[in-house]
Amino acid sequence: MTSSLHRLYSFRRCPYAMRARLGLLFAELPVELREITLKNKPAQMLAISPKGTVPVLQLFDGTVIEESREIMVWALEQQDPQGLLDAKVRTQANALIEQNDNEFKHWLDRYKYADRHLEMTQAEYRQRGEAFLQVLEEKLTQKPYLLGDNATIADIGIMPFIRQFAHVDRDVFYSLPYPHLQRWLQHWLEHAFFLQAMTKFHPWQEGDDVVVFPS
């Protein structure tokens, strides 16, 4: 069975891994899931991806895809029944994800771990991150999704990071003046695919039965 399935190494709480799983769900593409723990990474994963970060997708032909954005794109290029790779907004989607992954993620990490970054206060880090929230709020003022009336790869590529930002202090996040972004996030938190993406699995060990995701 494993020879006919691509294999995904994942960690449930990692936002990069979340968006890779969402890409696979929207592509309706089953894989063999190997859930890991960051403190005890399996040798099989490190052998194909020495950098040791998740997600890692190993195709059944041996090809390894190590970046979450590439996993999303690869999955949706196989099949994209809901049109998340809309060519009309692909450039805009890529630009938003770039801003998320570089500028916003920088401030998100410092906001979340302010006790490790004492150059600024947690509130100051939050305010720096809010520059991106304001961009998203503006985009969501007229439309339900970031780039229009339908979800795109930008939505599933960015949502896990906004979720992480919100969860640093939920009371603060929901008191901020971003009602459209808050509504958008809540929509995704309740989405059937996100709930499926967040299913808990026991960490994989050699000899375990194959776990097919989505099951």
Both 116 and 187 in one domain: the answer is yes
pLDDT: is 215 or 15 the higher one?
15
pLDDT level of residue 3 (50, 70, 90 thresholds): low
By C-alpha distance, which of 96, 76, 70, 199 is closest to 148? 96
The boundaries of the domain holding residue 184 are: 87-191
Both 179 and 206 in one domain: the answer is no
Both 76 and 96 in one domain: the answer is no
Both 184 and 203 in one domain: the answer is no
Both 102 and 169 in one domain: the answer is yes
- pLDDT, tens only, 163-194: 999 999 999 999 999 999 999 999 999 999 99
Do 214 and 48 contact (CB within 8 A), yes or no?
no
- pLDDT, tens only, 11-30: 999 999 999 999 999 999 99
What is the C-alpha separation between 163 and 141, in angstroms, rounded?
A: 19
Residue 149's Cβ-count burial label (10 Å; 0-12, 13-18, 19+) is exposed
Least confident of 1-10, 80-89, 135-144, 202-211: 1-10
Both 51 and 99 in one domain: the answer is no
Number of domains into which the chain is organized: 2
Both 28 and 42 in one domain: the answer is yes
Both 40 and 106 in one domain: the answer is no
Say what percent of the chain tops pLDDT 90.
Answer: 98
The total of other beta-carbon atoms located within 10 Å of residue 103's CB is: 15
Both 132 and 206 in one domain: the answer is no
Both 201 and 162 in one domain: the answer is no
